[in-house]
Structure formats: structure tokens, C-alpha cells
Structure 1
Amino acid sequence: MTDEAHLQTAIPKKASTLIIGGGPAGLVSLKYVVEYGERWLEGEEPFLVEMESEIGGTFRWRGYENAELVSSKQLTCFSDFRYPLSAPDHPSLPNFVRYLNNYAEHFGITPYIHTSTKVISLNYVSDPKDGYKHVALLQRLDSYKENLGEPIEILAKRVIITTGLHVTPNIPLIPGLNTEPKSPNAPEWIHSSSYKTRSQLENKEILVLGAGETGMDLAYESIMSNLNSNKEIWMGIRNGFLSFPKVLNNFKVLGVTFDGNLPIDGLITNLFEDTYVHKWISQSNLRWFISDFIIKRVLWILTGTMAGCNQWVGELPKEKQGRAFVFLNKSSKAMKFLNKPYYNLSKIHKYFFHYIDDYQSSNQKQKQIEIVPFPKKINKDGIVIFNELPLHRKKEINWKSKICKPDLIILCTGYKQNFNWLGKGYPKGPEECEIRGICSEKDLSIGFIGFVRPGVGAIPPISEMQTQLFQLLSQNKISIPTSPETYHLLHSPTSRIQYGVDHSTYMSTLSRDIGSSPGLFELWREYGWFVLFVYCFGAAFPTFYRLIGPFKSEKAKGIVETELWETIQRRGLLGNIFMGVIPMAFYAVINITAYIIEKTWLFTAPLFGLPPPPDNIMQSKPHIKVKAT
């Protein structure tokens, strides 16, 4: 539907549910509201508003040339609308935007979408009637984002906020660059949200700031844009990062090259890691620490370093290297250019095991990215003065002998969220929502969907599970969940980002809250051994949580038996032994041991006058308290 067509479509004055934001989280929320929400009367149908002229969210409006998904299609797409098996594992961003548009058309939710419509404010109704608790002020926009007509006031029974994590650019202040007084020779600078094509990078010396996936992408794009020049490329980071390729391949083991093309986000199995996990094991995060310990040793064998996968620079402190603490950086294309001066694998080690850095041309071999600390300031000559390195990265000394005077600085420093448009009494973001970061028991008619980020995984399927839980809670179909929150990543208390979760643990927690977590006997009885096997060896794919429960889908069985089975087949016999059977057996022993200890304690406690075994062996992560409405 064109922008002009949307502008001619009248917005209802009432809505059973108002959804704000047209990215994946908004679309899947709208789909579930239309399919599973309470029936509405004529003139109060649910609808979605999106400020931009097209749907797609950050994938549409913050994308750039050559960008593609870093999470696999198997994990990223929604439970009942899948990519074909022939599609690449990591589609381009334009391809994924087409997928989202096809999703909206397939489920018939396009008529409920109003683009070029901005929410100015959202407030509680002072004297609510007929269940309409919220009043939103909307503004229609033209193609230049100028106001079109007078604001429109609408009433809503429920509101779902899906405006996303990538909204307002986070721009750190660097003296001499973007503060006053500005250096007279300060370089040009942009935030990564303004980057679109390689033409912006050609024939420039570039300093990329930030070591997230966008920072890695743009550092690589900077190199490739200047292959035939002598321009320098730098990458500045504060503390460190954890690098991992999004696809597991390019290992040479005893002379044999492993090229399995296995997306890493689909390698964690369900049985005894996500399901049938004893509460003590879950609360202690023991699974994360054990898997981190093992993975680091395997990485040393295969690549010679434990800091990341073939990562020789920019490492985190040793105590923070692991899935329990950070978001894995799955854009590894730039690592070969960062590693170059620091790569230190012995010939003996390389003879048996090593990671293959694929240099496609002789031009690439001549290039490198100089890793540097985060800037302290830009001096009057336009030269970057850097902060000192943290102690754990003291070996990175190349930059000290060079002058960094870039033509362009790209701030790949992330985004922040702005909820100033929310009126008095509303939670100011998901951190004030004590129910799984989705909503508050103070008011179950307002929900935040798509605001947690997985360490390894994808936000769209998490959003689908979140909106399922919100549907049930807001319709009073289930009680408020009270089980401990054992899914939070262990961020530093001073970290700017506090919304990280372990993907599989969070998905498993939501499935239990919803009542869609498959039991092994239940799966076997209804679907047979094959579906049961795929579930045990599969990752936390959203389709598994549509096999049973209130959102059970007839499509789920076929998807499990084809696409999800294919992901297990691709691991091969040895892969399934080392990535499936051995971890399952190991975690089975740990969980069964905890179960035996608990039952023994429970049985003997009365005999010896001891207290019963505790339900919680640790406190769950505290939430900011929500102000009373």
C-alpha cells in the first residue's frame, strides 16, 4: 500500500488495541491481536501506527549496503511463516524487509496498518468508560514528515509499544569533535545511522568507534572501499568485545578443512539445557559457566586463542569472556584485518589446528585495521588523542607510534530509547516492567514488546513469545508468573546496556509462563519419536512452542519435520555427538544430581529437624520499582 493510500485511510477513533511501531515486534503483535485477541465491535478494531512511510523498522530504516542478518533465518523468522529451505541462512536486510511485508500480507493484517503516523503523546483517561483506559494523540505526516492536518485523538483499551531498541542515536561527546570549542581542523563525523553506501567511505582515512556488529561491518566496508589506496583505517573501542563468526566453518583440523556452514545460534540443544533443568542449576547460571569454560578450551585448540574465535586483539577481561556476560559479536569479517600485527599461532599448532583467514585478493593482504583505544579528544591540528588502554589489552601498542588524523569518524555507538511521550503513571520503558520486562501488574493493559536483546539469538522470535504472554495476561487468562528470572546476562552494574538476556533461557521461561513448553512424554504421545528427537536436539526455535499450548499451530509439526530437522542433519554424526549427545549427558548428570539432593534433603529434613530445601538459592535480578499510577 502506498504512502498516499495510507494518508487517505481514516484512523478509527477507538481501538481495542493500539500498537505503536511497525518493525517485526509490531507486526507480530498485530498478527496475534487480530488472530487471538478479544473480539472487537465495529469501529474499535485494533490497528498499528508507524511514523515512517513503510513498515520494517530498523531493518528498513537503519540498514546499509551489504548488510545482512547476523542471526540465522531458522532462528529469526516467526514460528508459522518461514523462509524456504533454499534461501540463504543469513538473508540481506532488504530481503528480510520483503519477508516482513509478505508476513503482513499473508496473515491479512495490512488493512490494520497506518504508516506516516506519529504518536505525540499517550496518557491515561481521567474517567475511563467501557474499558478505554488510554488516550493517544496521533499526527499524520506527509512524505517530508511535515504535519498533515490537525492531530487526531483516539481511545484504546490496550496499548502495545514496539518502538524498538534502535531509535535515537547514542552520541558520545568527544572534546574537539562535537563539543565546543570545536577543533578548527576537526574531521567530519557521522553516526552509523547515517551510513548507507560505500561511496561515503571512498578515498578517506577513517576512524570507526565502537566494536559492535555495526562497527565491525563498517570497519570492513572502510577497508574494502579503500583497497587501492594507502588510506589508514582505525577502530577505537573502550573495553573489548567477544568475536564469533555467525557461521561455524573455515577450521582446518589435522589437514582436513571443516566447512559445515552451521549457524552458531542453532547449536545449543534444548534437552537439559533449556528444558528439564533443575531450579538450582538454572538459578546458579551453572550451565553458562560450564559451557563457557569448555568453549574457551575448544577455541584455543582450534584457533590458538581463548579471547574469541580467532580473536587476537580487542579481548575482554578474562573474567568477562563468555556468553554469560556480553553480546557475541557475530560480524567477524573485519577480524583478519585487526588480527594481522598480533596473530601469534605457532607453526606446530597451525600444523594440527587453525582457523583459515580467507584473503580474496592480494590487495586485501596489504591492508590492516589499526585497533586503538577510545578517543580522549581531537586536538587543534585534527589529531586524535587517545585514552590509555585497559591493562588486559596492554599488548596493543602499534597505535602509539603513529599519528591518527582521520578524514571521517563514524560513531558506531548504538542507540538509546526515548519514552518522554508517555504520560504520568506509565512505566518509562521495559526496565520498569517487573513481569519479564513486558508489563507491570499495576496495569496489564500496557505492554513493551521487543526491548530485550539476546546474547546469541534474535529479537523477532522473542517478540512473538512476548506478545503471546501479553495477550494471555491482558485478557486475564493466566496468572502473573512468579518464577525466578534466571535469564539476564550478567552485565556490570555500571554498564549502559542492561537489557541483555540469554536467548534460549528467556524463550524457555516464557514458554513455561504461557503453558507451551513441550513435555517429552506429551510430545511423544501426540507427535511420535521423530518430533521428540528433533525437539531435544534442536535449539530454542519459536515453532517448538507452537506444538502445544494456547497458541498451538497445525503448521508446527510440518516445520519441525522438515526445516528444523534439516538444521540437525547439517551437523553430521560427529557434530551431533559433540554438540548434542555429550552436552546432554553431562547436563543430565548435573540436573539429576541436583534433583536427588533436593529429594533426599526433603525426605530427611523432618527426621533431623532441618529446614526444608530452599526454592531459591539466589536472588533474581532486581527491577526498578514502577511508580504507582
Structure 2
Amino acid sequence: MKLSVGIIGCGPSGLVTLKELLDEGHQGTVFEKTSHVGGIFRTAYQQGFMVSSNLITMFSDFVGREGDHILENPRMLSFIEYSQYLDDYADHFKLRPHIHFETYVQSVWQDTPTGKWNMRIFKNEGKEQDILQFDRIAVCSGTHQKREMPNFIGQEQFRGEIKHLQDIKEFQDFTGKRVCIVGSGESASDMALASAKYGKQSFISIRKDHGAIVPRYMDGRPSDLETSRALHSNPHAFGVYQSCFLLYYSLFLALIARLFGYDKRPPAEVEVDRQILLMNLAQVRTSNYRNSFGTKNSGLAEAMVKYSCRRKPDIRELKSPATIVFADGTQEDDIDEIVCCTGFENRFPFLETDDNKNDEIIQQVAKDARISHDLYKHCVHVLTGDNLFFVGFVRPSFGAIPPLAEMQARWFAQLCSGNIKLPSRETMIEHSKIYVKYIENQLTSYRTNRIVNLTDHLVYSDDMARLISCRPNFLKMFFCEPKLWIRCQMGPIMMAHYRLCGPHAKPAEARRIIHKIKWVHGLPEILQFIMIFIHFLFYYFGGIKRCKPNAWYPVTEWLS
């Protein structure tokens, strides 16, 4: 049966949801409050660059205007370039006729007698109002809607400006200022570098550990080309040892390069890499690339080495007129700005309006959905099932959100067509609890309680692919297409893997992309590749559960 689906938001999640619904023959309509495609990538500071390469970020069946050239020469796109990619995606799949721009979704509520969903929209700056009806609703409004701002002791007497990351549009605005950046993620790293480079003096306040720092580029290539299945399938229990090996191996190579004069880079660039290694090693047991979010950006280290940015602990209090007192008792005076790179809260104001104030179910869903990982697969609340579906509320510790949103959209489209059914409420609740335990064990409860969208890119992708029946049979591939198998195991994790089979598979194009891409094959990659099979033998024949490879089994089997 053909369904009509209302889609809220026209960022990457909304676009790919529309495309997948149209592929299944449904009618999708996107409502976007701005005048353009792209969501946050069109409103963020436009001097910014992505922290995942085009290979990792792109959708499974659309390379973009640069074609094979960018597959063979991958890079980090700027926000402007990625916005263009989304524009091209909308044009390529003829999505624009289904998008209503400059349309604000004020309220969404369910019509009890019919079970359909009503949507109150405003156009022309609120001058025109309409109520539309749909069979289902896809919430693709993004994770950057409501700012999460800290409350500092004494901030009412502070005379400097306290801003959120979203307030920063041009790096040159820092010129001549003494600035304190709060946070340690990728955006905070950008802000630390920009404020140190353009400002008078920069400080960065980090409450505890920073994310595992990985520069955007290593040896002239995007760092995430090394995010292979082999690397991320190795058991999480050995993450500290794996991290130590990779860090010390990098340190060994750097020493060899300097000793024999292979490293021709300027001393400052060498010192930045050294600073990254030292910062990661200092916290390797508590925060490494296997148990933390990634700060896939060397801006923090570069700011400290090149521009004298100074690291500080948590802010204890603010004093008049412009003084910050830090947790270690030190203080800095004459601070012009505090920029809070402290993230966002999931909020859904269109579910919390007068139109559904008496609907206890919708009110409960709106509240519970703020903690994304408590939903079934980050998408489904048990009270509304797939009638109200959340897309894009998932953040991989290493990887990118848009490809995970694509997997969610493909699943939603299959649910709409009836090709897949949701399990019972009891099963969804049980599986969600197992999933939360899994990510807390893998990424620590401290981080997952703060970053409620956090997940593992490969594990989540493969888990979704099992639902859609588009995860390749790698055992069969090993015997029938060994070259393709090697590239899938040791090349970067890409959504093209999931177009080799399953609904709307494009095997010829997927094979072409996988064979065409640039990938890394050095000693660490080979050792990781070998280690995963050694771990598997200990698990399968020795019964040692901690050797169970990640992603080889569904998350629901984690406790077994």
C-alpha cells in the first residue's frame, strides 16, 4: 500500500529519507524551515571542514560531481562543498518537487479516530497556515536544535560575552580578543585554533579527558581511510592494548623518519604530531579511540604548539568584571569571550504543543526521545512504533552521521512497505536495554550518559544491515570474490558495502566504488587483520567471550 509520509527537516537525514521512501513507491513530503537544502551544514561557521572524508560521509549510491577522481583522491570536504554535495544529491534523484522550503512545522499530533497524523505548518513568515494529514511522520530535524549551555557560578556578574558555538560565523571575529573555549570535541578544536590564531590569547577548558585526537590528515591522506572492518571488529576488551600499539607504532615511525632524515616537514608540524601522541598517551587507559568519542581534528594540538593556546581545567566560577577562576585555583583576567562548544539537546517542540497537550502517549514519546539510545535502534519508541520514526539521532564515535541516517531511512522505507515488521514491544524493550548496556560497556556510561546519541559506526551499521537484509555474506565473498573481500575488510568502512545485496541493491556500482577507492595497506592494518582471526579462534574454540569479534554478531547476542 502506498503511504504518505511527512518528513520534518531537509538536512542529510531528511533528504535520504525522502529518497528511500520514493524508491519504495511511497509519497514523501519534506518540510524545511529555511530556503535551502543542507541543514546545519549551511548555517554553521562556513570556514569549517568535515572531520570525515568523502568516502566515509557519502551515501551508498551517490559519489558526487567529482566522480572517480574523488574516490581515488579522497579528502575532507568543506562545509560549503558538502552542502553542494547535498544539493547535487537532491537534483540527481529529483527530490526538489517534494520539498517545501520556508515552511515551519509548528505542531504534529495524531488523529485518534483514524490513526493518521496531522501537521500544522506555517509559510511566508507565519502569514499562511495549513493543516495537512499523513499516514506516518519521519522526524529528521537533527541533533542541533537546542543549545546545551553550562551555568557558571557568578556568570551574572561577568561582563565578557558568553556565546555558544552556533554564534560563531567568522573566525576573524576573534581578532584582538582574549577567548576561553569550553569543550574538547571537534568544533572546540576548530574554535581553539581559530581563537588562538586570530585572537590575542586563547585558553581551552577541558573538564576531564579530551576525545581521542586524530588529525584530519596523516601522511597526506584522510586519517579515516584506516577505519577498516578489521580494525573495528577486533574485540573491544583489547582496546587499550590496540590503542597503545598504534600510538607507539606511530611514535616509532616518527623517530625513524627523523633519525634518517625522511621527514621533511617544518619543525612546527612535527611538534604538532608529537603533541597529539603525548596527549593521547597521557589518557590512553581512560580515553582512547576504542572507548571514547573521536576528536578527529588536530586543531587543539596545533593551537597549543603554534599559537600558545593554554589548556585549563573545568571552570569553577566567573568574577566581575571579566575573570575566570578554574578548578585548579588559577585565574585569567580580561576575558572578552567564553565560547561554549558544549553540544546540543534533543528536543521536539512540535510534539509538545497545545494540539497534543492531552495526548499522554505523544508527551511521553517527546520526553523519552531526548535520550536517543533508549529508543529501539535510535529510531522507534515502543508506544508509537514506526508511525513516528526518528532519523539521524545517532552519532558514531568515529565515522559520520549521514551514512547511518541512510541505513535508518532504508529500514523505515521497508517498514512502510510492510517488507519488514517490528518485533513485539517486549522484544524491542529487551533489545534496547541490551544495546544500552553494550554501548556503556564499550564507550563507558560517563560518555553515553552525556552524549546520548553516541554509538559505534561499524557495529550499528552492521546491526541495521541485518534488519534490512543488506549485510553482505562475507564468508561466501571470501571464496567467490577474494579481492572484493580483502577491500571490504581492510578498506574504509563505506555504505557501498550495503548496496552489494538486499533491497534496492546496486551490486555493479557498489563493486566499482569499492574497487576504485583509495585504501591503506601497511603493517598496522595487516596486523589488525591477522589479530581478528586469532581472537576469533580463541572465542570459537576456547570459549573466551572477551575475544568475540565486534560486528561479527548482532548486538543482541552480546550477553550470550
> With structure 2 as the length reference, what TM-score do the two structures score?
0.82
Matched, 1:466 2:466: no
Matched, 1:216 2:198: no
- The within-5 A match list for 1:288-299 is 288-299=239-250
- Greater share of helix: 2
Structure 1 residue 263: Cα displacement: 2.2
SS in 1 for 2:328: coil
SS in 2 for 1:240: coil
Structure 1's 524 and 492: CA in aligned 2 closer, same or farther, altered over 3 A?
closer
Query: CA RMSD, aligned part only?
Result: 3.0
In the alignment, the residues of structure 2 paired with residue 368 and residue 487 of structure 1 have an alpha-carbon distance, to the nearest angstrom, of 37
Structure 1's 491 and 585: CA in aligned 2 closer, same or farther, altered over 3 A?
same
In the alignment, the residues of structure 2 paired with residue 418 and residue 331 of structure 1 have an alpha-carbon distance, to the nearest angstrom, of 28
In the other structure, the counterpart of 1:57 is 39
Matched residue type, 1:447: F
Structure 1's 309 and 124: CA in aligned 2 closer, same or farther, altered over 3 A?
farther
Structure 1 residue 122: Cα displacement: 1.3
Contact 1:314 1:371 in 2 (8 A): no
Contact 1:60 1:93 in 2 (8 A): yes
Matched, 1:29 2:29: no
Structure 1's 449 and 243: CA in aligned 2 closer, same or farther, altered over 3 A?
same
Structure 1 residue 299: Cα displacement: 4.9
132, 136, 143: which one pairs with 1:158? 136
Matched, 1:268 2:234: no
Contact 1:234 1:370 in 2 (8 A): yes
Deviation track 1:503-554 (CA, whole Å, cap 9, x = no partner) reads 111112111221111113543677x343233222223200011001113114
In the alignment, the residues of structure 1 paired with residue 463 and residue 185 of structure 2 have an alpha-carbon distance, to the nearest angstrom, of 27
Matched, 1:578 2:523: yes
Structure 1 residue 313: Cα displacement: 5.2
In the alignment, the residues of structure 1 paired with residue 47 and residue 439 of structure 2 have an alpha-carbon distance, to the nearest angstrom, of 33
351, 373, 378: which one pairs with 1:437? 378
- The within-5 A match list for 1:207-286 is 207-226=180-199, 231-249=200-218, 259=219, 261-271=220-230, 273-274=232-233, 285-286=236-237
Deviation track 1:276-324 (CA, whole Å, cap 9, x = no partner) reads x8xxx6xxx336455334334435545799x997254598755422233
Contact 2:163 2:339 in 1 (8 A): yes
In the other structure, the counterpart of 1:334 is 300
Matched residue type, 2:322: G
Deviation track 1:404-457 (CA, whole Å, cap 9, x = no partner) reads 321122122211121242144232326375421111354222211111101110
In the other structure, the counterpart of 1:530 is 483
Contact 2:212 2:280 in 1 (8 A): no
- The within-5 A match list for 1:73-472 is 73-83=54-64, 84=66, 85-87=68-70, 89-128=75-114, 133-140=116-123, 142=124, 146-150=125-129, 152-177=130-155, 179=156, 182-183=157-158, 186-226=159-199, 231-249=200-218, 259=219, 261-271=220-230, 273-274=232-233, 285-286=236-237, 288-299=239-250, 301=252, 310-312=276-278, 317-338=283-304, 340=305, 364=306, 367-388=307-328, 400=330, 403-422=332-351, 423=356, 424-426=360-362, 427-428=365-366, 429=369, 431=372, 434-442=375-383, 443-472=385-414
Structure 1's 617 and 541: CA in aligned 2 closer, same or farther, altered over 3 A?
closer
Contact 1:242 1:316 in 2 (8 A): no
In the alignment, the residues of structure 1 paired with residue 36 and residue 334 of structure 2 have an alpha-carbon distance, to the nearest angstrom, of 39
Matched, 1:496 2:450: yes
Contact 1:267 1:579 in 2 (8 A): no
In the alignment, the residues of structure 2 paired with residue 525 and residue 296 of structure 1 have an alpha-carbon distance, to the nearest angstrom, of 34
SS in 2 for 1:223: helix
Structure 1: segments with no counterpart, 5+ residues:
1-13, 250-258, 341-363, 390-399, 600-614, 621-629
Contact 2:46 2:80 in 1 (8 A): no
Structure 1 residue 20: Cα displacement: 0.6
Matched residue type, 1:218: M
Instruction: Give the number of aligned pairs.
Output: 502
Matched residue type, 1:163: S
In the alignment, the residues of structure 2 paired with residue 29 and residue 193 of structure 1 have an alpha-carbon distance, to the nearest angstrom, of 26
SS in 1 for 2:380: coil
Higher mean C-alpha deviation, range 412-421 or range 285-294: 285-294
In the alignment, the residues of structure 2 paired with residue 432 and residue 509 of structure 1 have an alpha-carbon distance, to the nearest angstrom, of 14
Matched residue type, 2:172: S
Contact 2:3 2:416 in 1 (8 A): no
In the alignment, the residues of structure 2 paired with residue 206 and residue 47 of structure 1 have an alpha-carbon distance, to the nearest angstrom, of 44
Structure 1's 32 and 560: CA in aligned 2 closer, same or farther, altered over 3 A?
same
Structure 1's 619 and 534: CA in aligned 2 closer, same or farther, altered over 3 A?
closer
Structure 1's 266 and 487: CA in aligned 2 closer, same or farther, altered over 3 A?
farther
Matched, 1:594 2:539: yes
Structure 1's 311 and 206: CA in aligned 2 closer, same or farther, altered over 3 A?
farther
Aligned-residue sequence identity (percent) comes to 23
In the alignment, the residues of structure 1 paired with residue 95 and residue 274 of structure 2 have an alpha-carbon distance, to the nearest angstrom, of 43
Contact 1:18 1:46 in 2 (8 A): yes
In the alignment, the residues of structure 2 paired with residue 382 and residue 616 of structure 1 have an alpha-carbon distance, to the nearest angstrom, of 52
Matched, 1:46 2:28: yes
In the alignment, the residues of structure 1 paired with residue 443 and residue 212 of structure 2 have an alpha-carbon distance, to the nearest angstrom, of 18
In the other structure, the counterpart of 1:517 is 471
Structure 1's 616 and 507: CA in aligned 2 closer, same or farther, altered over 3 A?
closer
Matched residue type, 2:126: N
SS in 2 for 1:588: helix
Larger radius of gyration: 1
In the alignment, the residues of structure 1 paired with residue 556 and residue 345 of structure 2 have an alpha-carbon distance, to the nearest angstrom, of 34
Contact 2:243 2:284 in 1 (8 A): no
SS in 1 for 2:299: coil
Structure 1 residue 76: Cα displacement: 0.2
Structure 1 residue 459: Cα displacement: 0.3
